[in-house]
Each structure stands twice: as C-alpha cells, then as structure tokens.
Amino acid sequence: MESFRKTAEERLARIEQLESEALEADAIRRKLHNQIQELRGNVRVFCRVRPTTSETAIVDCAPDGTSVELKRSDADVAGFEFDRVFGPSSTQCEVFDEVSQLVQSALDGYKVCLFSYGQTGSGKTHTMLGDQHNEETRGIIPRAVAKVVEASEANAKKGWKYRMCASYVEIYNEQVRDLLKAGSGHSDKHSIAHVDGVTEVSGVNKEPVESVEAAAGLVRRAAAARAVEATQMNAVSSRSHTIFMLYITGEHEASGSRLTGCLNLVDLAGSERVGRSGAEGARLKEACAINKSLSCLGDVFQALSNGQKHIPYRNSKLTYLLQPCLGGDGKTLMFVNINPEAPSAEESMCSLKFAAQVNAVELGRGGAKRNIVSGIGKKEDKEDSSSGDKKPDDKKKVGKRPATARTAAGAAKKSKR
C-alpha cells in the first residue's frame, strides 16, 4: 500500500513537471514565432495580380515570387519587389498559407491587421472573402476564422481557455454601420475607443465565435449585408471599407497567463481615381470619402516611415480603428491587388507606388525607414501615391528602368529574411 502511494505521488509530480515544461516550451515557441515575424517585418506587403478577362496583361510576375513588372511600353517598364508576389494562377490556399503565420500571432496575443488595397475590380473581395460556399475558393476571412477556432481547440488540450468574439463593421462616408445587426444603418453614434490596446466600437454587436460553423454563418450574414453599389467600373463594386474584427482572449489558469490578441481583416473600398470611375452626385461623395480615408492611411504610413512623433491616426475612422495594429508591436500585412490589363495601367502604377511606400515602413523599431531609391517612393511620389484621386506623372518619376531593375525597399527587406 505504501509503495502504491509512493508511485502515485511520483507520477503526479512527473505530470506536474511535464505540464510546466510544456508551458515553458509554449512560451518559447510564442517568443520565437514572434521573433521570426519581426525579422520578416511587422509591416509586410504582398502583391496579388488577378487573371485577365479579355485584354492582354501588361503586368508580369517573375518566377522568384517577389518581383513584379508593369510594362506600359517597351521602353517604359517599372519593377517592384515585395515580400511576396502572387501571380494570376495562384490559389486561395497558397495565399492563405503565406498569411496564416500572422493569424497565429493574433492567437499569441498580438494586434494584427490584414488589408487588401487596390482599384475597383482588382480582386480585393476575392482575396479577403472569396466564395464562402466553396471550400477551394473561399478567401482569407473564412480560412482565418477556421484556423483560429481550430487552434484554440488544440490549445485547450494544453490548458488554455480561449474566448473569441467578433464584430463586423462597415465604414461608409466616414460613418460606421454594424453588419451583424439586421436593418441597422450608417450612423455617427458608433464611437471608436482603445481599451487595453484593443479597439472597441460602441454600440456594435460582439458575437461569440465558438465553432467553425458559427463563425462561417456570421461571416455570411455580414457579407450579405454589405453595401454594394454599381459603378461604371465594377457591376457589384463595394463602396465601403469592411472590417472583420476578431477579439481573442486566452487564459491559462494553472500559470495565471493571459493573452489578448485581435485580428482585423479589412476589405478596403476601391482606390480608383474619380475621373475614370465616372462618379457624380452621391457616387462622387462616396469616392471622395473613400479617397480621403485611403489618403489618411497613406499619411499614417508616411508618418511612421519618417519616424514622426505624431502619427495622424485620428484623421479617419479607418486609421483610428486600426491604430493598435499600425504602430508599436502591431503587425500589418497589406495586399496590393492589381488588375493587369492595359486600361488599368495608371491605377496599377498608383497602387504599386502606394504599396512600395508601405513596404518601406518598419514598426516597433522607432518606425525607422528603409532607404528607397530608383525613383519609387521619392518625396513627390509619396505625396501622389497617398491619394488615390491624384494622377502622378509616373513616367517622369519612375523613369524608364531596365526590366531587371528593383527597388531598394524590396531589396532591403529581402536581406532581412
């Protein structure tokens, strides 16, 4: 009897020791994962080029997976490098594989935002939402939610108790609308605040996310409620920014550890220039609001890359809402979506320049700026690219560079990997 008791005590002590070692290993895993993410850069830019419809493509993706070229004529070729470039044949699964590490960061307690930027019809909604009824073509939002739910279930075996809830909002003409509240309209009544480093939007539903199915239902409901209006450029063009906000709290009772992460998945409204979109009346007002908030986003990145003390987060609802992810140890991944057809050449150039500017920002290290040369990202370029409705004299600024030319921003980032 005595030997039984002794063996049981020894086994109990061994279990406790293993549990404590597992917890320590988990903390080391989190730390290493974060170090890898920081080495890759807390602001990353991926470029995704959509397939052509009828026109010939003037955008080429190099086989190295990080370079893209916009060819406006034989003598006018602009090259850009990003952290990753996805060509027209890339699948939703390949794209998600590359972003899933940031989803892990949100589970580890970081403030993460992923957003898609580009002209109307360039594939932003396809990338972020995709076809939710189709396993293969569903986009980042449904995949990310499924990953978070699955990972929290796996972590439960290690003693972690995760609680997740989600809001889904739309910003339209600088007014917020709750996409999870049936029949609710856009209103000024929703105020944005930051509580313990996490964004809270007053008066919007925060619904629990307990299973992959429940989360998928929530995403479907919000997608159906999204405001879509026809424009000349895309028959079902989304004229608002939509933000899926996933709040993640993890608690480990035995160790007393607590994590608070959040994942913001943003589908921005189209960045096309007012002239080309043929906007008038209410549509013109929409286009101006869209351009204002996109330009505020550009201003925030410019202030960060200049290492400015004051970052103008409050200048738009979008930037204020995303503030925790756009500074400090927040993590941002921007998709620049490109339509490779000739009529979109000027919009593509604007989008690529904006993306090159964002690519030069580094968070959590005093916003130190990487050196940018080769014409892309010069002061005058940044002023142009921060506003979607300005038409820069691209030829003059980008110059006619050989097809092999690369921006130093991309090269600098690459050398860090």
Binding residues for ATP, by number, are 118-125
Q: Torsion angle, CA of 186/191/193/195, rounded to 10 degrees?
A: -90
**Which single residue brings its beta carbon nearest to ligand ATP?**
123
Which residue among 37, 67, 105, 238 contacts ligand ATP (CB under 6 A)?
A: 238
Provide Rg for the chain, Cα atoms: 23
Chain centroid offset of residue 30 CA? 21
Tokens of 162: 């995760």
Strand partners, 336: 47, 117
Nearest distance from C-beta of residue 51 to ligand ATP, angstroms: 5
Nearest distance from C-beta of residue 361 to ligand ATP, angstroms: 23
The DSSP secondary structure of 254-281, one letter per residue, reads: TTTEEEEEEEEEEEPPP---HHHHT--H
Which residue among 66, 122, 351, 357 contacts ligand ATP (CB under 6 A)?
A: 122
Q: Which is nearer to ligand ATP, 269 or 279 (CB)?
A: 269
Nearest distance from C-beta of residue 82 to ligand ATP, angstroms: 16
Contact region for ligand ATP (CB under 6 A) — 103-111, 120-128, 152-160, 343-351?
Answer: 120-128
How many Å apart are CA 412 and CA 12, to the nearest integer? 52
Which residue among 79, 123, 327, 392 contacts ligand ATP (CB under 6 A)?
A: 123
**Which 184-223 residues touch ligand ATP, going by CB under 6 A?**
none
Work out the burial of residue 24: count CB atoms within 10 Å of its CB; fewer than 13 is exposed, 13-18 middle, 19 or more buried.
Answer: exposed
Q: Which is nearer to ligand ATP, 262 or 349 (CB)?
A: 349
Cβ(188)–Cβ(143) under 8 Å? Answer: no
**Which 320-349 residues touch ligand ATP, going by CB under 6 A?**
337
- Strand segments, DSSP code E, in 317-372 are 331-338
- The DSSP bridge pattern shows strands 67-73 and 111-117 to be unpaired
Q: Which is nearer to ligand ATP, 234 or 386 (CB)?
A: 234
Nearest distance from C-beta of residue 65 to ligand ATP, angstroms: 16
Question: What angle is formed at CA 59 by the lines to CA 54 and CA 64, rounded to 5 degrees?
Answer: 130
Question: Does residue 270 touch ligand ATP according to CB under 6 A?
Answer: yes
Q: Which is nearer to ligand ATP, 27 or 227 (CB)?
A: 227
**Amino acid at position 246, single letter:** L
**Amino acid at position 164, single letter:** M
How many Å apart are CA 242 and CA 230, to the nearest integer? 17
Q: Which is nearer to ligand ATP, 261 or 388 (CB)?
A: 388
Nearest distance from C-beta of residue 189 to ligand ATP, angstroms: 26
How many Å apart are CA 369 and CA 101, to the nearest integer? 24
Count of chain residues binding ligand ATP (CB under 6 A): 16
Total residue count of the chain as it appears in this document = 417
Q: Which is nearer to ligand ATP, 123 or 327 (CB)?
A: 123
Annotated binding site: 118-125
How many Å apart are CA 61 and CA 97, to the nearest integer? 19
Which residue among 237, 242, 344, 351 contacts ligand ATP (CB under 6 A)?
A: 237
Nearest distance from C-beta of residue 261 to ligand ATP, angstroms: 27
Nearest distance from C-beta of residue 371 to ligand ATP, angstroms: 31
Nearest distance from C-beta of residue 364 to ligand ATP, angstroms: 30
Question: Does residue 126 touch ligand ATP according to CB under 6 A?
Answer: yes
Cβ(352)–Cβ(384) under 8 Å? Answer: no
Chain centroid offset of residue 240 CA? 16
Question: Does residue 234 touch ligand ATP according to CB under 6 A?
Answer: yes
Question: Does residue 120 touch ligand ATP according to CB under 6 A?
Answer: yes
Binding residues (CB under 6 A) for ligand ATP: these are: 50-51, 118, 120-126, 234, 237-238, 269-270, 337
